[in-house]
Each structure stands twice: as structure tokens, then as C-alpha cells.
Amino acid sequence: MNSHRGMLDPKTLQRLVKEEKIETVLVVFPDMYGRLLGKRVVARFFLDKVLLDGIHACDYLLASDMEMTPVPGYKFTSWDTGYGDFRLKPDLKSLRLASWLDKTALVLCDAYEEEKDEPVAVAPRTILKKKLEEARRTGFFPMGASELEFFLFSDTYELAADKQYVNLRPAGQYIEDYHILQGTKEEHVVAALRHHLEHSGVPVENSKGEWGPGQQELNLEYTNFLEMCDRHVIFKHAAKEIAWQQGRSLTFMAKWNSAHAGSSMHIHASLWNENGTRALFAGKEKLGPFHVSPVFRWFLGGWMSHLRDIFPFFAPYPTSYKRYVAGSFAPTAIAWSYDNRTAGFRIIGEGPSLHIECRTPGADANPYLSFAATLAAGLDGIAKKIEPPPMFQGDMYKARELPQIPKTLHEAVHTMEQSTWARSTFGEDVIDHYVHFFKTEQQKFDEAVTTWELARYFERA
């Protein structure tokens, strides 16, 4: 069992329920957006029934949009099938306190088909677990961390909606990168977030002001891929609820305002041996300033080679692509370098700590899909011995000869849809499901009339 503070096992939960310290269990799963959906279950009933049998939920939850509208065109489920149930099976390794809520525990679940009792293939947690099993069969144990940024606002969520998200008031007035004074003004929310994550089985390393007014970054401890993704979605969920509790709001949009920096989800990744006791990226071969193993070279080569094939898993919305602006610390080219923040792939650390930081994913990405895509690309690089290009030095924003990341979701989805590699590694059903998902987001955006269009064209068109 995970031994971090706030983690529970059934016996401990039973005792806490008996002592009336826990009354509710959030039985949840991550949807395609990475949101936590599920039910609030009476703790006694969870112990008596749900713990062993799971609980039912409507399968439209993996075939709907952000407004919870059923979307036609999915093979997985539809009005033709009547939108039946799937079953949520608790993963007891994820059972923990939700300390920011009163007398509440939380458990993440895997979605299982009702009839065949098999994992739902298109569920994000299933997709990652399938890739982790492939890694295990080849003798690898992936380790990583997600470096997540967000913007904090003085407005409540309700006031922000009333304002139609225009003229929002960030919690800070100036760029506050590493700024302690401005960070103090935001501590009432961020300190509460650190405290409750620490007491809910989500160990935190640190937080800091970031490169935008009201922007914060919070870093979680390095761990295995599945645990990191579970911690990541709990972090995002808790952050929103804690902000709401304090009359504030925050956003994980990759780009909430064109005048300000974007928010990223940098992925830090390395491979270890199958027991997770020895890092495998360091070695004797010279690559740039590093001494690396062939496993490192090929993993990096595969990740870079397939980045465009999997890019919607890193940037899922039309707005996501507005983050990739030169001079913004967000990458625009596909290249790697040593400790260079203009690079899409930044190599840092040495010896056992040597790892790859991919700076392309935004804070809006679903971590299960991002980490699954990372692992799929890296493992293919190892299997096919894909070499990375030479290390780049200098300002990559000026290097027009480098391969570029997709400019729009349209471009990224088209590349994924046409990728024979993506279809072979994830399966036709998974790729078709998510291509439809991303196209739906693009369609909703294309149909909307924005405030920018009104301001530009209302009088002068």
C-alpha cells in the first residue's frame, strides 16, 4: 500500500467510519477531459457493497462533451444502444482521505464493461494501464512527474461566469516568477492546497510564483506513471474546490488570455528496471554533455519521432495551441537540448536523476492520455532503436529549420487520424474515439461567436 500520509486501506477506513470520522466516499473515475466524475457514496454502504462489487454509471460519460451533452457518432455508445451502464471498480491502492472536504474519503476507479467484465478500452485510465503492462513485459518501470501551472483569480467562479469571463481580476498584478512577496498574497489558497494534498496522499515538493500575474506552479513528488496521473487529477480537482471554498477561482486553461503566459504541464520521465530499483537512463555513451544508455537515446528518439502523431493528447483543445508563442517559454519546435527552456525536450539531471522533460503538454491536458502517449512513443523508440537528432543549442524560436509542432488542433487531429503508427499502438477503436472527441471540441469552437469577433467586426465589418 502507498504509505504516504492520508492513504487508507479498507481496515483503516472501517475504523474511521466506526469512529464517525468518515461518512462519505467519493467513488470517481477520470473522464476524457481528465475530470473526476462519479458518486458520493455513504461510507457504510461503500464498505458493505461497493468495495467488492463496484458501482454503476452511465456509459455516456465517455461519449459526451464538456456540457454533458451526449455526442452522436461514437462507436462505443449512442442513442441506438440506449446509453447503458458500465461498472466502476475501485482501485484500493488509490483509497485516500479527501482532507479538504468534511469527513470524506476518495477512491479512483477503473471502468469495466457491464456484460463482458473487461476494462472499457477507451477509458483514459485503461489506456495508460495497457501501456504500463507493455512496459512491464519488456522489463521497464516508468517513473515521472507532471509540473503543473494555473492562474488564480480574486473573482469567484460565479462572478467570473456573470462577467462572461471578461475583465477577470488575477490574484496578482505583475509577473511573479519566483516572487515571494506576491506569493504571500496568494498563500491563503496555495498553502491550503499544499496542506490538503499532503494530508490526502498527494505528496508535494514545492510551489512558486510563475511567469504571469496570479500564476502559480505546484510540483508533486516523482513516482510511477499511474500514481502520478492519479495524484495529478486529484490535485486539479482539489485546487478548484479549495479556491471555491475561499471565494476565489482558478483555471488550468493552457492560455486564458493572449496578453499573459500560458500554463503548462511539463512531463518529467525516466525508465527504471522492472522492480523500480535502478534508473536506466544513465550510461557510458556520450550524448551532448551527458553520459547516457542506449535506452535513453532510443526513448528520446521515439518520443520526438512520434510527437506529432500523438499531439492532441498533449494539447486537446483549440485554445491549447494559442500557448505556443515564441518568447513565452512554451516550445514551438521539436528539438532537444541541455537545460534549455526554449526546447520542446529539455534534458536535465545526471546519473540516476537523468531524465527527459517534455515541455509541450498544456495544463489542460488529460494526464492519463499524455503519459500513455509518452510511454507508447518511447517504447516504440526502444523497440525500433530510433535515434534522436543531434542536440540543438541556442534560441529555438529562431531556428526555422527545425520541425515544428502543430499550429492548430485541426492540423494535430488530422495527423493523428492519418497515423498508421498511432492506430497500431493504441488500436483503431481508441484512435477513432478520440479523433471524434477532438473533432467535436473543434466543431463547438468553430460554431461559436467569440468576444474577439464581436469587438473586431460588430461596428466595422
CATH of the domain at 165: 3.30.590.10
Report whether pLDDT(390) > 80.
Answer: yes
Last residue of a domain, one of 120, 153, 171: 120
Can you tell me the mean pLDDT for 313-337? 91
In terms of C-beta density within 10 A (0-12 exposed, 13-18 middle, 19 or more buried), how is residue 344 classed?
buried
Residues 321, 385, single domain; the answer is yes
Which of 120, 144, 171 is the last residue in one of the domains? 120
Task: Say which CATH number the domain at 86 has.
Answer: 3.10.20.70
Give the model's pLDDT for residue 2: 55
Indicate if the pLDDT at residue 185 is higher than 90.
Answer: no
Alpha carbons 283 and 292: distance in angstroms, whole number: 4
Closest C-alpha among 314, 305, 319, 327 to residue 403:
305
Give the CA count within 13 Å in the CB-facing half-sphere of 256.
26
Is a pLDDT exceeding 90 seen at residue 173? no
Query: Are both 381 and 425 inside the same structural domain?
Result: yes
184 and 331: one domain? Answer: yes
Would you say residue 3 has pLDDT above 80? no
The verdict on residue 158 lying in a domain is: yes
Q: Report whether pLDDT(1) > 70.
A: no
103 in the same domain as 21: yes
pLDDT tens profile 97-106: 999 999 999 9
pLDDT in tens, 110-163: 999 988 889 999 999 999 999 999 999 999 999 999 999 999 999 999 999 999
User: Does 3 reside within a domain?
Assistant: no
User: What's the rounded mean pLDDT across residues 73-79?
Assistant: 93
434-447 pLDDT, tens per residue? Answer: 999 999 999 999 99
Asked whether residue 359 falls in the same domain as residue 397, the answer is yes
> Could you say which of 97, 120, 143 is where a domain stops?
120
Give percent of the chain with pLDDT exceeding 90. Answer: 82
Q: Do residues 282 and 334 both lie within one domain?
A: yes
Q: What is the mean pLDDT of residues 206-219?
A: 92
Tens of pLDDT, residues 259-299: 898 999 999 999 999 988 899 999 999 888 888 999 999 99
Please determine, for residue 378, whether its predicted confidence score (pLDDT) is greater than 80: yes
64 found inside a domain: yes
Tell me the pLDDT tens digit for each residue of 393-403.
Answer: 878 788 788 99
Say if 193 falls within a structural domain: yes
**Cβ(79)–Cβ(63) under 8 Å?**
no
Residue 350 scores a pLDDT above 90:
no
Domain presence at residue 4: no
| Averaged pLDDT, 159-169 | 93
Based on the fold, state whether residues 358 and 416 are members of the same structural domain. Answer: yes
Q: How many whole angstroms separate alpha carbon 281 and alpha carbon 46?
A: 43
pLDDT > 60? residue 197 = yes
User: What was the pLDDT predicted at 459?
Assistant: 93
| Nearest to 403, CA basis, from 335, 330, 324 | 335
The answer on 313 and 224 residing in a single domain is: yes
* Same-domain pairing of 275 and 357: yes
Q: Do 49 and 178 fall within a single domain? A: no
Does residue 125 lie within any of the structural domains?
Answer: no
Neighbouring residues of 309: CB distance < 8 A, sequence distance ≥ 6 = 377, 415, 416, 419, 421, 422
Tell whether 295 is covered by a domain: yes
198 is a domain residue: yes
Mean pLDDT, rounded, for 18-22: 97
Give the residue numbers spanning the domain of 400: 132-457
| Least confident residue range of 23-37, 68-82, 412-426 | 68-82
From CA 270, how far away is CA 282, in angstroms rounded? 10
Lowest mean pLDDT among 222-231, 268-277, 412-421: 268-277
Q: Do residues 77 and 199 both lie within one domain?
A: no
Residues 114 and 148 in one domain: no
Domain count, the chain: 2
